[in-house]
């Protein structure tokens, strides 16, 4: 029994299929089958029920729990040895929302890789709540997201501030409200407290409730006392921004991402409505392990330096 056996077992337990697991491991199905057979012989019990899809036996479920511990310890060992030697190498797993990653990370990743060429970056792009769940499961090393409250075993470090605004194309606004439009969309910087009932007849383009903007939108609808007309729901911010520009609906979106993703000409086509509760902080999150890989700290420092 060794780390390689654990890796093969964990991959097969995840894929539940010899062919897919072998492809993921870049070995033949026969080699994988032989390793698993040897492992079962060594522990003296069957670990998988061999039907489609594969299923863990009761012994396999116990073995899985310890295999994950071995895998985490192997990773911790490699990282601590990397820190001691000063030859930083390994895979840094980062959780971030897709569009935020596209806007905020390319330059810092390029610079970071020049400084630490043996450290690979693996981006896990997902909704805000999913990022924190992945961190709790130790599937990522650093979360870059809005903090959801105190999470046991997780430390935080402030990153940056964002603000959700409502975007409405000027053509759509004039079609809905005519001469009232100017009173609805006050000059930028004059913060509104919430949505008015005037928006009850407006079509909306929404992210899911797990998304920060999607969650704020639904709170504003509840506070205003109306059910929204949801024209399109998607996790793809760029698609929703395009539809917003086409006048197909109003869209809640982080203000800094609007500036980064849209040209000045396109931004001129939109009204922007701000909200009292629209601002929030984003933070780094990481597990409070007995040994934290130094690369995690260096990554956070690099991102903050890029924002200065």
pLDDT digits (tens, 9 = 90+) for 230-259: 999 998 889 999 999 999 999 999 998 898
Cα separation, 76 vs 287, in Å, equals 12
Please give the pLDDT value at position 306: 85
Give residue 70's pLDDT band: very low, low, confident or very high (50, 70, 90): confident
Please say whether the beta carbons of 92 and 121 come within 8 A.
yes
pLDDT at 188: 53
- 211 vs 249, higher pLDDT: 249
Torsion of CA 104, 108, 97, 278, to 10 degrees: -40
- Look over the chain and give the mean of its residue pLDDT values, rounded to a whole number: 90
CA distances from residue 40 to 23, 25, 33, 75 in whole angstroms, order as listed = 21, 19, 11, 24
What residues does 94 pair with on adjacent strands?
A: 123, 142
Of the two residues 202 and 72, the one the predictor is more confident about is 202
Q: Is 171 helix (H, G, I), strand (E, B) or coil?
A: helix
Tell me the pLDDT tens digit for each residue of 116-168: 999 999 999 988 889 999 999 888 999 999 987 788 899 999 999 999 999 99
Band (pLDDT 50/70/90 cuts) for residue 187 is: low
Give the rounded percent of residues in the chain with a pLDDT score beyond 70. Answer: 97
Q: Is the pLDDT of residue 191 over 60?
A: no
CA 58/CA 75 separation, integer angstroms:
26
CA atoms within 13 A on the CB side of 94: 27
Task: Flag whether pLDDT at 190 surpasses 80.
Answer: no
Per-residue pLDDT reduced to its tens digit, 41-59: 999 999 999 988 999 999 9
Closest by CA to 173, choosing from 270, 275, 278, is 270
Of the ranges 77-81, 172-176, 211-215, 262-266, which one carries the lowest mean pLDDT score?
A: 77-81
Q: What percent of the chain has pLDDT over 90?
A: 64
pLDDT for residue 201 is more than 80: yes
Is residue 24 classed exposed, middle or buried when 0-12, 13-18 and 19+ CB atoms within 10 A define those classes? middle
The per-residue pLDDT for 176 is 94
**Which of left, alpha, beta for 138 (phi over 0: left; psi -120 to 50: alpha)?**
left
DSSP strand pairing (203-206 vs 119-125): unpaired
Can you tell me the distance from the alpha carbon of 217 to that of 208, in angstroms, rounded to the nearest whole number?
10
- Please, are residues 269 and 245 in contact by the beta-carbon 8 Å criterion? yes
Tell me the mean pLDDT in the region 63-86: 83
Beta strands in the chain, from DSSP E residues, in sequence order? 48-49, 55-56, 90-96, 119-125, 142-146, 154-169, 203-206, 229-233, 250-254, 270-273, 279-287
d(CA 224, CA 192): 13
Confidence bin at 177 (pLDDT 50/70/90): very high
103/254 Cα distance (integer angstroms):
11
Average pLDDT over residues 62-79: 85
């Amino acid at each position: 029994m060794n780390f390689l056996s654990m890796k093969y077992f964990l991959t097969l337990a995840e894929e539940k299929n010899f062919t897919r697991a072998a492809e993921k491991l870049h070995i033949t199905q026969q080699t994988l089958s032989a390793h698993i057979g040897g492992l079962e012989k060594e522990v003296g019990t069957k670990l998988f029920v061999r039907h489609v899809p594969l299923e863990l036996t009761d012994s396999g479920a116990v073995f899985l729990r310890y295999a994950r511990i071995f895998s985490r310890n192997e990773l911790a060992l490699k990282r601590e040895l990397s820190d001691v030697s000063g030859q930083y190498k390994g895979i840094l797993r980062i959780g971030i929302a897709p569009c935020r990653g596209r806007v905020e990370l390319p330059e810092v990743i390029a610079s970071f890789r020049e400084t630490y060429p043996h450290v690979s970056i693996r981006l896990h792009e997902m909704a805000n709540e999913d990022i924190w769940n992945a961190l709790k499961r130790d599937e990522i090393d650093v979360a870059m997201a809005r903090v959801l409250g105190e999470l046991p075993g997780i430390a935080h470090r402030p990153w940056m501030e964002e603000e959700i605004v409502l975007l409405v194309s000027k053509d759509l606004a004039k079609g809905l409200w005519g001469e009232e439009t100017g009173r609805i969309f006050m000059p930028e910087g004059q913060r509104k407290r919430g949505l008015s009932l005037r928006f009850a007849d407006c079509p909306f383009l929404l992210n899911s409730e797990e998304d920060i903007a999607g969650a704020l939108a639904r709170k504003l609808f509840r506070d205003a006392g109306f059910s929204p007309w949801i024209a399109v729901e998607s996790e793809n911010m760029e698609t929703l921004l395009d539809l917003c520009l086409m006048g197909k609906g109003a869209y809640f979106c982080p203000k800094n991402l609007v500036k980064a993703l849209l040209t000045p000409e396109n931004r001129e086509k939109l009204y922007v409505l701000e909200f009292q509760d629209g601002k929030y902080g984003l933070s780094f999150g990481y597990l409070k392990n007995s040994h934290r890989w130094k690369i995690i700290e260096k990554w956070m420092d690099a991102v903050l330096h890029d924002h200065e």
